[in-house]
């Protein structure tokens, strides 16, 4: 699931959220770090 798919944004705040999060909205979300082991070639960005 992508970050954008998991967000619930109140009406009228969509553009503000997009402006702040930008391309991070396309980040892949995991339920736990253990699942990362199934991906051999990934790039992690930790904020």
Asked if residue 47 has pLDDT above 90, the reply is no
Q: What pLDDT does residue 32 have?
A: 65
Q: In the prediction, which pLDDT does 46 show? A: 60
Q: Does residue 46 sit within a domain?
A: no
- Give the span between the Cα atoms of 2 and 31, in whole angstroms: 12
Cα angle: 38, vertex 30, 19; to 5 degrees: 130
Q: Does a structural domain hold residue 47?
A: no
On whether the CB atoms of residues 26 and 4 are closer than 8 A, the answer is yes
Residue 33 has pLDDT above 90, yes or no: no
pLDDT at 3 over 80: yes
pLDDT (tens digit per residue) in 8-31: 999 999 999 999 999 999 988 877
What domain range includes position 27? 3-38
Q: What are phi and psi for residue 10, nearest 5 degrees?
A: -65, 145
Grade residue 37 by pLDDT with cuts at 50, 70 and 90: low
Distance separating alpha carbons of residues 20 and 7, to the nearest angstrom: 14
Q: Report if residue 16 sits inside a domain.
A: yes
């Amino acid at each position: 699931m992508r970050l954008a798919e998991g967000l619930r944004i109140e009406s009228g705040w969509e553009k503000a959220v997009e402006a702040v999060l930008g391309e991070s909205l396309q980040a892949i979300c995991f339920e736990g770090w253990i699942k990362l082991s199934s991906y051999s070639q990934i790039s992690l960005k930790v904020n």
